[in-house]
Amino acid sequence: MRISLAAGLALVLAGCASARSATPAAAANTTLYDRLGGLPAITAVVDDFMQNVAADERINARFAAADLTGLRQKLIDLVCQAAGGSCVYKGRGMKAAHQGMNIKDAEFDAIAGDLQASLNKFKVPTREQGELMSVIGSLRPPIVNNGVGSN
C-alpha cells in the first residue's frame, strides 16, 4: 500500500457508533468525535477501511510496500484529531506525504468510495458522513498530483 492512506484516511473521520444524543440541542454541542463514537468507533472504521483498500484492485498496488501498522496509527490519529478528539497526528502534511506519487483523481475517488463503504457498513448517520466527506474533499488539492492539478 503506497499512497499515504492519509489520502484515504484522512478519509477516515468516521466512527462505527451512531451519533445518538439525548436531544438535538445536545447533539449540536458535541464534537464530531463524540458523535462518531470516539476512539473505538474511529478505530473500527479505519480497520474496515484499510481492508476495503487492500481488496480494491484500483488502488491496492499503491500500498504494497507501506508500513501498514504505522499507517493505521497515523490514520486513527488524523481522524481523531480532525474530528475534535484528543489525539495528535504526528505525520507529515498531505502535500509532503504524497510528494512524487502522481496520485490521480480516480485514485482519490476510489479511496473515498472505500471509506464511504465503511461508513455505510457501520451505519454512520448522514450528517456525520457529510462532515467527514467534506474534510476528505478538502484534502484533494494537496494530495492529487501533489497540488499541481488533477486528472
List Cβ neighbours of 109 (8 Å cut-off, separation of 6 or more).
Answer: none
The ranges assigned to domains in the chain are: 6-147
| Greatest pairwise CA separation for the chain in angstroms | 48
Instruction: State mean pLDDT over 108-117.
Output: 96
Identify the residue with better confidence: 147 or 54.
54
The pLDDT of residue 132 is: 86
What proportion of the chain, given as a percentage, has pLDDT over 70?
A: 77
The pLDDT of residue 110 is: 97
Instruction: State mean pLDDT over 22-35.
Output: 70
The pLDDT of residue 147 is: 53
Instruction: State mean pLDDT over 94-100.
Output: 91
* Crossing angle between the packed helical segments 38-55 and 105-121, to the nearest 10 degrees: 130
Length of the chain, please? 151
For residue 10, give the C-alpha cell. Answer: 484522512
CATH match for 6-147 among 1.10.420.10, 1.10.490.10, 1.20.1560.10, 1.20.210.10: 1.10.490.10
For residue 114, give the C-alpha cell. Answer: 472505500
**pLDDT reading at 18 higher than 70:** no
Say how far apart CA 92 and CA 98 lie, in whole Å. Answer: 9
Identify the residue with better confidence: 23 or 127.
127
DSSP state of 91: S
Cα-only R_g, the chain:
15
Q: Tens digits of per-residue pLDDT, 49-64?
A: 999 999 999 999 999 9
Instruction: State mean pLDDT over 124-144.
Output: 92
For residue 75, give the C-alpha cell. Answer: 490514520
**pLDDT reading at 78 higher than 60:** yes
